Amino acid sequence: MSTSSSSSSIKTSRWLAFHALLVFAFLYLPIAILILYSFNGQGVGGFPPRNLTLSWYRILFSDAPIWDSVLNSLLVAAAAMLIALLFGIPAALAVDRANFPGKALFRRLVLLPLILPGIITGLSLLMLFRVAEVKLSLLTIILGHGTALISVATTKVFAGLQKLNRAQEEASLDLGATYWQTFWRITVPNLKLSIIGAALLIFTLSMDEIAVSFFLIGRDNTLPLEIWGRLRRGITPEINAISTIIFMFSLLTIVVWYRLRTRAEVTPEIGAELVETAGRS
Amino acid sequence: MFSRAYRAAITVPPLIWVAAFLLVPYLLMFCYSFWSVSESGIIIHTWSLNNYHELLTKPVYWQTLLRSMWIAARVTFFSMLLGYPLAYFLSLHAGSRKDLYYQLVIIPLWVSYLVRAYAWKTILGTDGVMNTLLQYVHLTSHPLDFLLYSPFAVVLTLTHIYTPFTFLPIYASLEHIPRNLVEASHDLGATPQQTFWRVIFPLSIPGVLAGATFAFVLSLGDFLAPLLLGGPSGIMISNIVVSLFGAAYNWPLGAAISLCMLVLVLALIFFSERLEKKWSFS
């Protein structure tokens, strides 16, 4: 390599590093402000922040409607996770090892809620519940989240299945185990990491989801909808405080997940998987 | 090796669920779009093309759709402008810090969409952080009112949200490029620019397409950021749909717009997948 091109490549490298710094600043600015102003006695705006205080957290802890909505969100996320895994795991198995009419359509349909704007999923389910005369409640949100997030379970478990060696399952069947035994003792343990990863992701995505819930909400709010309602009534740093707490919990989840994950191999493909999965928040 | 009963057990339950909660609802949306609503608010189940006729003849609908596409196009462009060089830097210049930086791109995704949009609102508002900061350092004497409640605010917020999503597939595709191809290009005397434009960039096109489709489609259908930050001039097509399903109470017309959006989005995904296949090497 000639000296001129190597000095120009150092220059390029510096520009790229500078650009990266700016992008990171852009990505973290709102988060930093969000957290900072949760301690601001003067409200959500105003520079410089004044009268740093914990009082918004104190108000938050005695704010019953917020905590009710947190409980509702936890309930919805847990139930949606169960539905998504209950149907997503067999769906991945079916795509991997069965042939049936309409398989291509089925694959596409399952994945659609990931790439479609949430409004389409939300509205189409709203019409279903209207026609079926189902009253909107947390249950309809659970059905909505569960259905939309089957896609996450299916992609994650399918990726796990691609790496799975079928010889173990064959051996188990040859040695006289039933399909049920083979499923629980061989297939599931081998897919453990994919399933846990999918479960965590489904849980967090459901906790954050608003576009689908927006249309399926009954009387009880989930946390994002409770926040949404308050945003329209006028805002206080209480929202910053609850968001900060939730963010800290999410960070904790990622740390736990990476601890689990580093025991297995880490591949750049996680990125591609995440793109398809994280967009629903 | 798998018996018929096993295959039925893994196939039938998800098939029924997906048919009931995805296929039927989409079909219902299709049906609704041909129905109409009476003045007393009852859905009339007679089939007609009236809703589609209204969409074509009333300019407000296609103007809003065009404006939404224009907002989505800007979001896509800026996300690329931020995401591509970042992915390139991480993949080819970051060395051992790569994994750390990668995590740093992912972490903002764990702050919920709504909360990030809200954070921008507190930054851009008349009494927000940005305006009070500018006045504090005496750069302006009055609050700048174009910051919030404008298409600018919507584009900025959506760019913030979708930059990590455009970054991820580009990064994945850059990571897949065999490094000996890059070295071979250098060894054969290509300048860094030539190596980039003739080797690296063409091989990253599938990632660019995936990221661009994602950013475009999801920002096109967004209705929360415009409601929160857009003001009257930032109204997008989904906001019209929301009002038709709410106060304006015309579900069939709302269903017709949704269906047009669905078709548009599916067509985009279809073409982008075709192109990705064409450009992917194996």
For A142-195, write each residue's pLDDT tens digit: 999 999 999 999 999 999 998 888 888 888 888 988 888 888 888 888 898 899
Residue scoring higher pLDDT (B255 or A275): B255
Q: Which residues of A touch B140 (CB under 8 A)?
A: none
**pLDDT band per the 50, 70, 90 thresholds, residue A3:** very low
Nearest-Cα distance to chain B for A138, in Å, is: 16
pLDDT value at position A268? Answer: 41
Structural domain includes residue B168: yes
Residue A48, preceding peptide bond in cis (omega within 30° of 0): yes
- Taking the Cβ of residue A45 and every Cβ of chain B, the question of whether any pair is shorter than 8 Å is answered with yes
Phi/psi region, residue A49 (left: phi>0; alpha: psi -120 to 50; beta: rest), is: beta
> CB A127 to CB B2 under 8 A?
no
Q: Is it the case that residue A250 has pLDDT exceeding 60?
A: yes
Percent of chain A scoring above 90 in pLDDT: 50
Report how far residue A22's alpha carbon sits from residue B132's, in angstroms, rounded to the nearest whole number: 22
Structural domain includes residue B136: yes
> What helix, strand, coil percent values describe chain A, rounded to 5?
80, 0, 20
Phi/psi region, residue B250 (left: phi>0; alpha: psi -120 to 50; beta: rest), is: beta
pTM: 0.89
- Taking the Cβ of residue A161 and every Cβ of chain B, the question of whether any pair is shorter than 8 Å is answered with no
What's the domain count of chain B? 1
Structural domain includes residue B39: no
- Taking the Cβ of residue A181 and every Cβ of chain B, the question of whether any pair is shorter than 8 Å is answered with no
Question: How does pLDDT run across A109-143, given as a tens digit for each residue?
Answer: 999 998 899 999 999 999 999 999 999 999 999 99
CATH number at residue B218: 1.10.3720.10
Structural domain includes residue B218: yes
Structural domain includes residue B189: yes
For residue B183, give its domain range.
59-279
- Taking the Cβ of residue A28 and every Cβ of chain B, the question of whether any pair is shorter than 8 Å is answered with yes
Is B77 exposed, middle or buried (CB count within 10 Å of its CB: 0-12, 13-18, 19+)? Answer: middle
Structural domain includes residue B232: yes
Which two structure tokens, joined as six digits, stand for B77? 């462009």
Considering the domain delimited by A62-278, tell me its CATH architecture.
Answer: Orthogonal Bundle (1.10)
Contacts of A167 (CB under 8 A, 6+ apart): none
CB–CB contacts below 8 A, A to B? 269
Centre a 10 Å sphere on the Cβ of residue A233 and count the other Cβ atoms it contains. 7
C-alpha pair distances (Å), A117 with each of A71, A211, A279, B211:
26, 8, 9, 15
Annotate A257-266 with b (16+ C-beta within 10 A) or e (fewer): beeeeeeeee
Which of B13, B107, B214 is the closest to A279 by Cβ? Answer: B214
- What backbone phi and psi angles, to 5 degrees, belong to A82? -60, -50
What is the ipTM metric for this complex? Answer: 0.90
Question: How does pLDDT run across B143-167, given as a tens digit for each residue?
Answer: 787 778 889 999 999 999 999 999 9
Q: Which residues of A touch B214 (CB under 8 A)?
A: 115, 275, 279
Report how far residue B256's alpha carbon sits from residue A128's, in angstroms, rounded to the nearest whole number: 16
> CB A30 to CB B160 under 8 A?
yes
- Among A67, A210, A77, A75, smallest CA distance to B118 is for A210
Report how far residue A115's alpha carbon sits from residue A134's, in angstroms, rounded to the nearest whole number: 27
> CB A124 to CB B26 under 8 A?
yes
